[in-house]
Amino acid sequence: MKKFILGKKIGMTQVFTEEGLSIPVTAVQAGPVSILQVKTDEQDGYCAVKVGYEDIKESKANKPMKGSFDKAGVAPKRYQKEIRLEDAEGFEVGKDINVGEMFSEGDVVDITGISKGKGFAGTVKRHGTSRGPETHGSHYHRAPGSMGAATDPGRVFKGKKLPGHMGSEKVTIQNLVVVKVYEDKNILLVKGAVPGPKGGFLVIKEAVKA
């Protein structure tokens, strides 16, 4: 069975090993998630499980959402996510999944979230390009630089590193180690940093390259 859970970033802290070493960890409020739908090869052409996370008021759910929640027999959820699986056996609509059922200490996971938005940024901050001279009368400091050749090719190539909207995009951090699982509090401690701000929505899956 593929391991997965949805959660929210709480923040960063540190834990100490028996040898006295400090390990930086991110605390994640992981689950519980409710199974809203189970998709199979026979019925849908592929295997997947649709899950929901974090209860909301009924007034905040529209009619199509209410219909799907009522059909599954669960309370309306703020977040919904479909997880592709090789085999959906063992998953039952309406059942809750807790973090302790999925993960244990030492597991390696991939965590996906939306990175912090930085607004409009120049090329030095956004792409790490080098700047121009700061002295000797230079007026070129943090500008984008040459746009390319003139007559040939006569255009700017796609992918040119230019100023623009930085951050606020989907980011996955791979091969993070689970340091501690607090099953009673639905909290996961993961070694290292994860994408997004405090309170940001996260998808945690078992690592594909571990």
Alpha helix (H) residue ranges in 25-165: 41-44, 63-72, 99-102, 123-127
38 within 8 A of 93, measured Cβ to Cβ = yes
According to the model, what pLDDT value does residue 100 have? 86
Q: Is 36 helix (H, G, I), strand (E, B) or coil?
A: strand
Q: Is 183 helix (H, G, I), strand (E, B) or coil?
A: coil
Residue whose pair of structure tokens reads 């959820």 in the numeric block: 77
Residue 29's nearest CA partner among 185, 209, 194 is 185
> pLDDT tens, 34-51?
999 898 888 888 999 999
Residues 6 or more apart whose CB falls under 8 angstroms from that of 108 comprise: 175, 176, 177, 178, 206, 207, 210
Residues of the chain with pLDDT under 50: none
According to the model, what pLDDT value does residue 200 have? 93
Give the separation between CA 192 and CA 28, rounded to whole angstroms. 12
Give the separation between CA 80 and CA 77, rounded to whole angstroms. 7
According to the model, what pLDDT value does residue 1 have? 61
According to the model, what pLDDT value does residue 41 have? 87
CA distances to 38, 48, 87, 186 from 207, in Å: 22, 17, 17, 20
